[in-house]
Amino acid sequence: MFHSSCAKLPGLRFAVVSSLAALLVPSATSLLAQTPYEQVHPLVGTAHEGQTSPFVGPPYAMTSWTPETRPSEAKCVAPYYFADKQITGFRGSHWMSGSCGQDYGTVTVMPVTGEHFEVVPAQRGSDFDRATEHAAPASYSVTLSRYATRVEMTATARTGIFRITYPAGTPATLLFQSYTHPNEGFVKVLPERHMVVGYNPVRRIYQGNGQTAGFSGYFAARVDRAFTQSGTWCGAAVHPGTLEQGAGCTGLGAFVTLGDTLGHPVVVLVGTSFTSIEEAEKNLDAEVANRGFDAIQHADEALWHKSLNSLEVEGGTAEQRTVFYTALYHSLLGPRPVNDVDGSYNGFAQSGLKHLPKGEEYYDDYSLWDTFRALHPLLTIIDPKHQEQIVQSFVLKGEQAGFLPIFPIWNNFTSEMIGDHAVSLFTDAWQKGLRHFDVAEAYRLAMQNATVTPPRDQYVDGKGRRALTSYEKYGYIPLEDHVRDAFHDNEQVSRTLEYAYDDAMLADWAGALGKKDDEAMLRKRSENWRNVFDASVGFVRGRHEDGSWVEPFEPGKNASYITEGLPWQYTFFVPQNIPGLIEAMGGRERFIAKLDGLFERNLYDQGNEPSHHIPYLYNYAGAYAKTEAQIRKSLALYTDAPGGLPGNDDDGQMSAWWVMSAMGFYEVCPGRPVYSIGSPLFERVTIHHADGTSFVIEAIGNSDSAPYIRTAMLNGKPLATPQIDHTSLMKTGHLVFQMSGSPKVSAFVR
């Protein structure tokens, strides 16, 4: 997602980033004995176009904490970039990792020293020595050179914990700032309680751009000692002694001075909430209790050990193991819960304060156009109960707002990206036996999205499928419908293809639920891909209302009717009927030739999601060795350097693709619980299930020069086709591959 629009780092060359990474990565020898947790490198993705930040906190944190080098909540600006030379603070962030969205509801903490200090981010920043920077999932630390101050940071799901060691002999000060919109926000110093509190109103982008999101990010910060002085600032004007600052500023914040700390560490706790300052403090008290910094860090580490150890890899290189566990870390950052510890949360699309049953979480920030492909399928394997809560949260959104969202972020409709992939989310979970969600309501809402266009005012706000009227009338979306009420306008062919896939998944679900009339209608619509496939050229192509094809046509070039890709790439998005696509192209040999042409012309783009399933399609035409070879080439595009992701990580999708493909399989059609086999990267992978069972994938004779599968045995029996079903993966089992350097002999015979 956002591959072409995301801001790049001017002048940053990959070779420079790679060499800098050497300062941060342990030696290959030491990695051999490291745990999965110790092999995570959170700085991967913070350069090139990865758009990640070195987030600290437990898996699926509501508020993630990160060093800040870009003091902004602007669109497409991540909090941290490896190439930057100064740190301007340490942020409680809600940035969707790897995206080109916006951060929102943030709070930043910055330690400074001296009798006189700067508060404006551009002036207060500090250089830092890379040798002092340590990033791990549960902790981050660095020394701020300008202030000779050591900052250590850990976090719970909703609270940031800082241990800050200032130099002796100089006044120590803490700055608290939220990057509010002009004339918004609030901050207040409570000296008698050693606290600073405040809020940062959230505004929408995409559909509803500039409108309020209906909630704020609230914080309650508690310092472990008394203040000798305090004040606020408004813009660049500092007001010592003023305890409260509200609207009317372009940038506001508060400072508290602690005097000379004599070199003793200062502990700062920052609770967060999306409902109130009071709930932010309650979250802090509930999650921190009486625990100290080290105890919280160790508890965080234990949670990460549990999650990362769900997948155990053996063999491969030290770098490959680091890439694997770093990718898994990135896959466990979102969607995020947005409820308080007591279950309070803001209903979707400003539908009022809600309350969850005990033990449940309400999730938000779904990069669903990206993550339906690999992230959510991965979670059904390694954390199925968590995935059920993610599904139920999505159902609640539709129930509360009247329609299922397409791409919900900051708890509102957005109409960002295309498709209607809640259907994929629901169907994939249901088909895999994950049914602890409101199935009846989910199905009703999915059918409504597929068949009903809401009233105009609701549609403009983001409710409903875009251009559904045209899709139903023509069986495709013609070029004359420019789909103006969406962040991405046009993209008619891609929308048609993705709706056809969604209709196919809903048809499957309808059939399984006994809804035969719905199934028949949707099954017919699932073949609408044929209406944008021009058999005379063998590609999908823009089409007019009168049925004529767009001219001129060049399948290898960008087109307004294609989403973030090329007609050549999107021609292969018919996951629901690959045999039908092969037939439409003129048979197996022509299908293979079309795939070959894509790769030979360097049109495959691992850096963006529309390409992710394409290497696996050779399997469906019997060219198994070509799938195996292309998967290995794509896996090699990832490294353990800061620039080690080939594109935006998109809430973990780019990383989840790597995790699944490195294990040796990928779900080409989410919603149909069958995984296509690629080329396993490691000698042995063990999937540890929550019930204590394990599934083992073994690749005998595996190496970079032996990517081809010569034999395949599942539980002692030959595997006749390059696929494995979800049920088999989730039981005790053993999949054994004999690898080869020759593509001439395959385990799979047509």
Q: Are residues 270 and 334 located together in one domain of the fold? A: no
SS3 612: coil
pLDDT (average), residues 728-741: 97
pLDDT-derived band of residue 188, with 50, 70 and 90 as boundaries? very high
Q: Which residue from 82, 174, 98, 95 is spatially nearest to 133, judged by alpha carbons?
A: 82
Q: What is the pLDDT of residue 145?
A: 98
Q: Tell me, yes or no, whether 298 lies in a domain.
A: yes
Q: What is the pLDDT of residue 101?
A: 95
Can you tell me the distance from the alpha carbon of 718 to that of 131, in angstroms, rounded to the nearest whole number?
52
Q: What is the pLDDT of residue 247?
A: 84
Alpha helices (runs of H) in 293-332, residue ranges in sequence order? 293-308, 318-330
Residue 231: other Cβ atoms inside 10 A: 19
Can you tell me the distance from the alpha carbon of 607 to that of 113, in angstroms, rounded to the nearest whole number?
43
pLDDT digits (tens, 9 = 90+) for 491-524: 999 999 999 999 999 999 999 999 999 999 999 9
Domain coverage including residue 706: 311-740
pLDDT digits (tens, 9 = 90+) for 705-723: 999 999 999 999 999 899 9
pLDDT digits (tens, 9 = 90+) for 78-125: 999 999 999 999 999 999 999 999 999 999 999 999 999 999 999 999
Q: What is the CA radius of gyration of the chain?
A: 26
Whether the per-residue pLDDT at 745 is higher than 80: the answer is no
How far is residue 122 from each of residues 94, 173, 176, 311, measured CA to CA in Å? 22, 17, 15, 43
Domain boundary, last residue among 268, 291, 308: 308
Q: Are residues 601 and 695 located together in one domain of the fold? A: yes
Residue 119: half-sphere exposure toward Cβ, Cα within 13 Å: 27
pLDDT (average), residues 31-46: 89
Q: What is the pLDDT of residue 22?
A: 44
Whether the per-residue pLDDT at 2 is higher than 60: the answer is no
Q: Please, which residues bridge with residue 135 across strands?
A: 140
Q: Are residues 287 and 187 located together in one domain of the fold? A: yes
pLDDT-derived band of residue 13, with 50, 70 and 90 as boundaries? very low
Whether the per-residue pLDDT at 4 is higher than 50: the answer is no
Q: Which residue from 38, 59, 2, 57 is spatially nearest to 640, judged by alpha carbons?
A: 38
Q: What is the pLDDT of residue 33?
A: 66
Quick one: what percent of the chain has pLDDT higher than 70? 95
Q: What is the pLDDT of residue 402?
A: 98
Number of domains in the chain: 2
pLDDT-derived band of residue 746, with 50, 70 and 90 as boundaries? confident
pLDDT-derived band of residue 604, with 50, 70 and 90 as boundaries? very high
Domain boundary, last residue among 284, 308, 332: 308
Whether the per-residue pLDDT at 546 is higher than 60: the answer is yes
pLDDT digits (tens, 9 = 90+) for 239-267: 999 999 998 899 999 999 999 999 999 99
Q: Tell me, yes or no, whether 346 lies in a domain.
A: yes
Whether the per-residue pLDDT at 24 is higher than 80: the answer is no
DSSP code string of 57-97: SSTT-SSEEEEESS----TT--S--TT--EE-EEEEE---T
Q: Tell me, yes or no, whether 40 lies in a domain.
A: no
Q: Are residues 288 and 394 located together in one domain of the fold? A: no
Q: Tell me, yes or no, whether 629 lies in a domain.
A: yes
Q: Are residues 242 and 201 located together in one domain of the fold? A: yes
Q: Residue written as tokens 């669109």?
A: 75
Q: Are residues 250 and 342 located together in one domain of the fold? A: no
pLDDT (average), residues 521-530: 98
Q: What is the pLDDT of residue 11?
A: 30
pLDDT digits (tens, 9 = 90+) for 346-357: 999 999 999 999
Can you tell me the distance from the alpha carbon of 498 to that of 480, in angstroms, rounded to the nearest whole number?
19
Q: Which residue from 552, 239, 564 is spatially nearest to 370, judged by alpha carbons?
A: 564
Are 93 and 103 in contact, with CB atoms under 8 Å apart? Answer: yes
Q: Tell me, yes or no, whether 174 lies in a domain.
A: yes
Can you tell me the distance from the alpha carbon of 96 to that of 114, in angstroms, rounded to the nearest whole number?
36
Q: Are residues 537 and 675 located together in one domain of the fold? A: yes
Q: Which residue from 92, 114, 108 is spatially nearest to 178, judged by alpha carbons?
A: 108
Q: Are residues 638 and 575 located together in one domain of the fold? A: yes
Are 630 and 690 in contact, with CB atoms under 8 Å apart? Answer: no
Are 375 and 363 in contact, with CB atoms under 8 Å apart? Answer: no
Q: Tell me, yes or no, whether 391 lies in a domain.
A: yes
pLDDT digits (tens, 9 = 90+) for 193-242: 999 999 999 999 999 999 999 999 999 999 999 999 999 999 999 999 99
Q: Tell me, yes or no, whether 11 lies in a domain.
A: no
Q: Are residues 267 and 380 located together in one domain of the fold? A: no
Can you tell me the distance from the alpha carbon of 456 to that of 463, in angstroms, rounded to the nearest whole number?
9
Q: What is the pLDDT of residue 749?
A: 65
Q: Tell me, yes or no, whether 38 lies in a domain.
A: no
Angle at 150 between CA 146 and CA 154, to 5 degrees: 130
Can you tell me the distance from the alpha carbon of 120 to that of 589, in angstroms, rounded to the nearest whole number?
63
Q: Are residues 293 and 331 located together in one domain of the fold? A: no
Q: Are residues 197 and 325 located together in one domain of the fold? A: no
Domain boundary, last residue among 281, 308, 335: 308
Whether the per-residue pLDDT at 14 is higher than 80: the answer is no
Whether the per-residue pLDDT at 269 is higher than 80: the answer is yes
CATH number of residue 279's parent domain: 2.70.98.10
Alpha helices (runs of H) in 475-600, residue ranges in sequence order? 492-512, 516-525, 567-570, 578-584, 588-600
Whether the per-residue pLDDT at 320 is higher than 60: the answer is yes
pLDDT-derived band of residue 747, with 50, 70 and 90 as boundaries? confident
SS3 14: helix
Query: What pTM was estimated for this model as a whole?
Result: 0.95
Instruction: Calculate the average pLDDT of the chain.
Output: 95
Q: What is the pLDDT of residue 543?
A: 98
CATH number of residue 495's parent domain: 3.30.2080.10
Q: What is the pLDDT of residue 717?
A: 95
Quick one: what percent of the chain has pLDDT higher than 90? 94
Whether the per-residue pLDDT at 748 is higher than 90: the answer is no
pLDDT digits (tens, 9 = 90+) for 53-87: 999 999 999 999 999 999 999 999 999 999 999 99
Q: Are residues 378 and 471 located together in one domain of the fold? A: yes
Q: What is the pLDDT of residue 10?
A: 30
